[in-house]
Chain A
Amino acid sequence: MDLLVDSFPDLLTGLVVTLLLGVVSFILGSGLGAAIVLAKISGNRVLSAVATAYVSVFRGTPLLIQIMIIYFGLPQIGLEIPPIPSAIIAFTLFTAAYLSENFRAGILGVDKGQWEAAASMAMPYGKTLRRVIFPQAIRIALPPVGSRFIALMKDTSLASAVTVVELTRVAEGIGTSTFRYMDALLIVGLMYWLINTLLQVGQQALERRMRKAYA
């Protein structure tokens, strides 16, 4: 208990940084993921190939390697990025690859008849996507997208490898200075679990509300 009191300020800072990494990367990753899926379904062969290659690379390599390339690798070619932005860039690129696949599954999950109904009334492509397809696709994609957000929250612990003082790094710090590794790690583990439980509850509420909107 005394440990919790003594390191409260550090834990709080760590929590804020962890949330910052997760939320900002998720928002940016959603935007990029949407752009990737638009490229993929654009019908333009070059755009679609670039999108496919992107997804393949960022899903096919470890996130830790991606973070380290950005923080340790890029300076060797003269591009120095501070730790937190490095981590956010890596998380964004990585999450976008996964989210684009979730979005795509959502779009493909919309009944073909919806495209045809829109086409038969001469609705332009962009409006069909915005007004008919996306609102339905997002409902289909919501569960996997929520899971991705939770996975990202846990993955932010990898930012500790590039000196970002987020929750995991804070736990390490407390451990080294007090030798109470077990307590520190358990406390931080519990904090991750609480964050993700809240996210899960939020996701379920959102899913319920979206289901209700159909009835």
Chain B
Amino acid sequence: MTSSEPIVSVRGLTKRFGDNEVLKGIDLDVRPGEVVVVMGPSGSGKTTLIRCLNLLEEPGSGTVRLCGNHVDCGTRQGGRRARAARIREIRRHSAMVFQQFNLFPHLTALQNVMEGPISVRNVPRAEAAELARRLLALVGLGDKCGCYPATLSGGQKQRVAIARALAMEPQVILFDEPTSALDPELHAEVLQVIRDLAGNGMTMVIVTHETAFARDVADRVVFMDGGHVIEEAPPQRFFTAPAHPRVQAFLRLIGPSHNGRPSPENVERT
């Protein structure tokens, strides 16, 4: 794979739940090192899109290509086994951070992070523990290795979840509103971890309503409405001069920080 070839490439993606057509033909490319933020009103299909990227949701039609693994949706495409293997490869090379964390409650923070390396990547236990310790330290939780999720704050849980994602050594991390389930004062610690990842060149797709954060980390903002991508622009242009009136209305609705540079106090808020 050459470095400019997209890590994620989606074409004509559709998805319906019964009569509800949620995605109506999405095209999206994410290049190595790129951070794409997905915004849009509630119900516009952001979660559904991000879940389609690693086939947690089975798209109705279209194609998903991730790290060279190509899945043709809505067709038989060379047998069930081959297809399942390709989906496994896609998931193997991507990681997902959920709104509700979805940590394994019966495992400690350390064991949560070790689980993927041990049971998916076949890393020896001692090595996995070492890696997990390093990653927990990286997200600022070096002292919480032995804690069970139930004893951690929301912000700490989400940081463990990010460490768990990193332990898969993914080519791309998918975030679905990583701070939406958190109390406002806990947003900053999680966003800071994601900022650091962006600074280190991690490829990410992030669904979020945090405009100040999006403006900081995004290389590109994708705006969804009614199952379509209706605007796609670098954050500078997206937040200051959006072309689509719906985007303008949306930005007016969700807050003041889209005018000019964000002030220091709203860098960490929203």
A interface residues, Cβ below 8 angstroms from B: 111, 113-114, 116-117, 119-124, 127, 131-132, 135-136, 139, 213-215
Contact = CB atoms under 8 A, between A and B. Distances in A.
Interface in B63-118: 88-89, 91-92, 94-96, 98, 100, 102-106, 115-116
30 contacts: A113-B100, A113-B102, A114-B102, A114-B104, A116-B96, A117-B102, A117-B103, A117-B104, A119-B91, A120-B94, A120-B95, A120-B96, A121-B91, A121-B92, A121-B115, A121-B116, A121-B120, A121-B164, A121-B168, A122-B91, A123-B115, A127-B119, A131-B115, A132-B104, A136-B105, A136-B106, A213-B148, A214-B106, A215-B148, A215-B150
A135 B105 CA distance: 10
Q: How large is the interface on B (under 10, 10 to 19, 20 to 34, 35 or more residues)?
A: 20 to 34
B211 interface: no
B56 interface: yes
Given A121-B91, A122-B92, A215-B150, A116 B119 contact: no
B151 interface: yes
B54 interface: yes
Contacts of B91: 119-122
Contacts of A120: 54, 56, 91, 94-96
Mostly, the A contact residues are helix
Given A122-B91, A213-B106, A215-B148, A116 B120 contact: no
Contacts of B88: 122, 124
A213 B106 CA distance: 7
A111 to B, nearest CB: 8
Contacts of B115: 121, 123, 131-132
B150 A214 contact: yes
Contacts of A124: 88, 119-120
A116 B116 contact: no
Contacts of A123: 115-116, 119-120
B168 A135 contact: no
A119 B168 CA distance: 12
Contacts of A122: 88-89, 91-92, 120, 168
Contacts of B116: 121, 123
Contacts of B150: 214-215
A119 B56 contact: yes
A87 to B, nearest CB: 37
Interface string B110-149: 0000011001100000000000000000000000000010
Contacts of B96: 116-117, 120
A132 to B, nearest CB: 6
Nearest to A139: B106
B104 A214 contact: no
Contacts of A116: 56, 96, 98, 102
A120 B88 CA distance: 9
A19 to B, nearest CB: 31
Nearest to A125: B84
- Between A114, A116, A121, A132, the greatest number of chain B beta carbons within 10 A of the residue's beta carbon is seen for A121
A131 B118 CA distance: 11
A121 B96 CA distance: 8
Nearest to B147: A215
| Most chain B CB atoms below 10 A, which of A124, A127, A136, A214 | A214
Contacts of A135: 106
Contacts of A213: 106, 148
B58 to A, nearest CB: 12
A119 B103 CA distance: 13
Contacts of A113: 98, 100, 102
A117 B167 CA distance: 13
Contacts of B54: 120
A137 B120 CA distance: 22
Nearest to B101: A113
A139 B105 CA distance: 11
A122 B89 CA distance: 8
Contacts of B94: 120
Interface string B30-47: 000000000000000000
A215 B104 CA distance: 12
Contacts of B106: 135-136, 139, 213-214
The 10 closest A-B pairs by CB, nearest first: A113-B102, A122-B91, A117-B102, A120-B96, A122-B92, A121-B116, A135-B106, A127-B119, A214-B150, A122-B88
